Amino acid sequence: MAILTFDKVTVQYPIYNSRSMSLRNQLVRISTGGRIESEAGHIQVVTALSDVSFALQDGDAVGLIGHNGAGKSTLLRTMAGVYYPISGKVVRQGRVATVLELGAGMDPELSGYENIIRMGILMGLSMTEIRGKTQDIESFTQLGDFLQLPVRTYSSGMATRLMFAVATSTQPDILLVDEVFGTGDAEFQVKAKERMEALIKSVGIFVFASHSHDLIRQYCNRFFRLEHGLLAEIASTDI
């Protein structure tokens, strides 16, 4: 059974050497959507998530909405265990997979095959699991012999195919997704949409951050709004 709960979780970032730089302070506010809570010497602290609480279980498909920098990506990364809160408690039960930054861990000097191994290891897969998924990744990308070449020789579309295929190759209990349906060319978008929809149906908990309210309504049955690090659950009619 998949479980994901937050109990009064707060996440903060330190910003160094910006005490007297008013323009930089303003850019920090815009880009993070958080609040500059305090100053100590040349260190300022931005609160990206503030006292966030919720409980998710099998069958929950959550849509995250909010302006750029509202805290959606921070929330997803905290759910995944990439970021740790300064206070509060996160409980997760079940295997977590993320489609956050496509290509995280990709090395352009390595071949496609070598990057499949590299990214798979970073996702927590064993070599046996990676070998078992390689044929599916090959088929989905349709890159053929290009998988033997360094990724730096790929077009952006080819790299996207490889990144997405690896990122969606696991069968998790909890799936966390940050805006992926618009990647790649038209043909790839159709394949990506079909692959993602099949993956969504197979997981226990699905969390999806998107600016597309239509996609949020289509895939989700619960809805969270983030604003300046504060989270509130809303009805679909409030989107």
| Residue 7 and residue 89 in one domain | yes
Query: What is the number of structural domains in the chain?
Result: 2
**Class of residue 139 by CB neighbours under 10 A (exposed 0-12, middle 13-18, buried 19+):** exposed
| Residue 29 and residue 109 in one domain | no
| Residue 82 and residue 107 in one domain | no
Tens digit of each residue's pLDDT (9 = 90 or more) over 123-172: 888 999 999 999 999 999 999 999 999 999 998 888 888 988 888 888 88
| Residue 131 and residue 79 in one domain | no
Report field, pTM of the whole predicted structure over 0.75: yes
Higher pLDDT, 101 or 81: 81
Tens digit of each residue's pLDDT (9 = 90 or more) over 206-216: 999 998 899 89
Confidence of residue 20 (pLDDT cuts 50, 70, 90): very low
| Residue 196 and residue 162 in one domain | yes
* Assigned domain for 216 exists: no
pLDDT of residue 103: 62
| Residue 103 and residue 86 in one domain | no
Average pLDDT, the chain: 86
| Residue 72 and residue 155 in one domain | no
| Residue 164 and residue 186 in one domain | yes
Domain extent for 103: 99-209
| Residue 14 and residue 70 in one domain | yes
Confidence of residue 53 (pLDDT cuts 50, 70, 90): very high
Tens digit of each residue's pLDDT (9 = 90 or more) over 2-15: 999 999 999 998 87
What CATH code is carried by the domain that includes residue 162? 3.40.50.300
| Residue 78 and residue 149 in one domain | no
pLDDT of residue 36: 56
| Residue 153 and residue 86 in one domain | no
